[in-house]
């Protein structure tokens, strides 16, 4: 669509590698770093994984939380899938060609709880966010958060109690620290994407039966209405996620074998499209979400005034 989405009043600019280099250099000239932190579950981690693919010519290196350095090819491919906890629990990304660009990811599927390195299902990041908020050190230039999905599977409570605890009560716990962080840096809370309810999760039904779009919409409403005013609620990606699901239905209808679709090198084919996967938007859709983030952080420093988040907006 050449960067023009029907529900946005301004077009997105597609940042290629040289554009990104110019952006990072311009930010540096204005005394700013280019460090982005992603905190949440795999839905938000996929955005950073996609960055590893799209900008792989920047010679990116990933350092795991155990100090091991791996290449994007290992990280994105079947090796990374096999060693998920080892590689993807927490990790840091840097470029040998663009040293001022840095990324970090912290696994926190239940965001409102504290970190728990011994139990990946209930790990949170509230204490990490509090450390950042109370630190005198330079914060990431952007903190991108998400939550919700895992909160619907770890609880044995009744559905309404689960929704209250992981929606209303969660935001009560998070709101003070998010408000504090938002006075010093950009904080973005990504709302949960819709899921493919009709796709079997291949886990025990009793653990995942509360993961429905009705439950997700309740959480979405809680996050959207109870967040602190300075925190940006990222809802503009939701139409893209819905559209990709419609595209998947058409692809399934017209193609007998989705494996014939083009896929990204070094990435498992199914991740490119995710038409038979319940929980994630595929890389084809996420490319727009990634460009939204880069537009937000870069466009105030580019000369074009016809794009979103430019110098005049």
Residue 48 lies in a domain: yes
Residue 281 lies in a domain: no
Query: Are the CB atoms for 144 and 37 separated by under 8 Å?
Result: yes
Q: What is the CATH number of the domain that holds 39?
A: 3.40.50
Mean pLDDT of 159-186: 93
Based on DSSP, count helices (H) and strands (E) in the chain, helices before strands: 13, 8
The helix/strand/coil state of 145 is strand
The string of DSSP letters for 175-215 reads HHHHHHHHTTSEEEEEPPPP--TTS--SS-HHHHTT--HHH
Domain count, the chain: 1
What's the mean per-residue pLDDT of the chain? 90
Q: Which two tokens stand for residue 206?
A: 């009793």
Instruction: List helix spans (H) across the chain.
Output: 17-29, 42-54, 72-76, 78-82, 84-88, 126-134, 159-163, 169-182, 205-208, 213-226, 238-254, 269-273, 283-298
Q: Which two tokens stand for residue 83?
A: 């060693």
Checking if the pLDDT of 103 tops 90, the result is yes
Residue 308 lies in a domain: no
pLDDT digits (tens, 9 = 90+) for 201-259: 666 656 677 888 999 999 999 999 999 999 999 999 999 999 998 999 898 899 888 88
User: In this prediction, what percent of the chain has a pLDDT beyond 90?
Assistant: 62
pLDDT of residue 313: 60
Residue 213 lies in a domain: yes
Residue 24 lies in a domain: no
Per the rule left: phi > 0, alpha: psi between -120 and 50, beta: everything else, 23 is: alpha
Give this prediction's pTM. 0.94
Residue 81 lies in a domain: yes
Residue ranges making up the domain that contains 59: 32-235+286-301
pLDDT digits (tens, 9 = 90+) for 267-306: 777 788 888 888 899 998 999 999 999 999 999 998 888 8
**Closest by alpha carbon to 125, among 181, 76, 69?**
181
pLDDT of residue 202: 63
The helix/strand/coil state of 234 is strand
Residue 257 lies in a domain: no
**DSSP letter (8 states) at residue 258:** G
Least confident stretch, 3-7, 41-45, 235-239? 3-7
Could you give phi then psi for residue 142, rounded to 5 degrees? -150, 135
Residue 187 lies in a domain: yes
In terms of C-beta density within 10 A (0-12 exposed, 13-18 middle, 19 or more buried), how is residue 230 classed?
middle
Q: Which residue in the block uniquely carries the two structure tokens 């460090």?
A: 35
Checking if the pLDDT of 136 tops 80, the result is yes
pLDDT digits (tens, 9 = 90+) for 66-87: 899 999 999 998 888 888 888 9
- Greatest CA separation found in the chain? 57
């Amino acid at each position: 669509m050449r960067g023009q989405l029907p529900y946005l009043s301004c077009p997105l600019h597609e940042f290629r590698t040289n554009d990104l280099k110019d952006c990072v250099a311009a930010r540096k000239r204005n005394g700013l770093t280019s460090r982005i932190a992603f905190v949440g579950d795999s839905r938000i981690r996929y955005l950073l994984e996609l960055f590893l693919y799209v900008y792989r010519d920047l010679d990116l290196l990933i350092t795991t939380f155990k100090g091991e350095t791996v290449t994007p090819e290992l990280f994105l491919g079947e090796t990374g899938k096999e060693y998920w906890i080892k590689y993807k629990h927490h990790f840091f990304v840097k470029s040998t060609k663009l040293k001022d660009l840095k990324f970090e990811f912290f696994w926190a599927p239940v965001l409102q709880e504290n970190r728990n390195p011994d139990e990946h299902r209930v790990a949170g990041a509230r204490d990490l966010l509090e450390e950042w908020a109370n630190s005198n050190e330079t914060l990431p230039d952007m903190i991108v958060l998400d939550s919700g999905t895992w909160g619907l599977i770890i609880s044995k409570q009744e559905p309404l109690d689960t929704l209250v605890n992981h929606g209303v009560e969660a935001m009560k716990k998070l709101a003070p620290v998010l408000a504090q962080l938002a006075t010093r840096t950009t904080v973005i809370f990504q709302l949960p994407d819709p899921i493919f309810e009709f796709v079997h999760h291949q886990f025990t039904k009793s653990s995942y039966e509360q993961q429905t779009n009705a439950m997700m919409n309740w959480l979405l409403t809680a996050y959207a209405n109870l967040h602190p005013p300075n925190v940006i609620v990222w809802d503009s990606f939701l139409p893209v996620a819905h559209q990709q699901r419609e595209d998947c239905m058409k692809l399934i209808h017209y193609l007998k074998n989705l494996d014939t679709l083009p896929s990204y090198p070094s990435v498992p084919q199914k991740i490119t499209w995710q038409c038979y996967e319940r929980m994630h938007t595929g890389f084809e859709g996420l490319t727009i979400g990634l460009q939204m983030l880069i537009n937000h952080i870069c466009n105030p420093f580019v000369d074009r005034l016809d794009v979103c988040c430019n110098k005049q907006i």
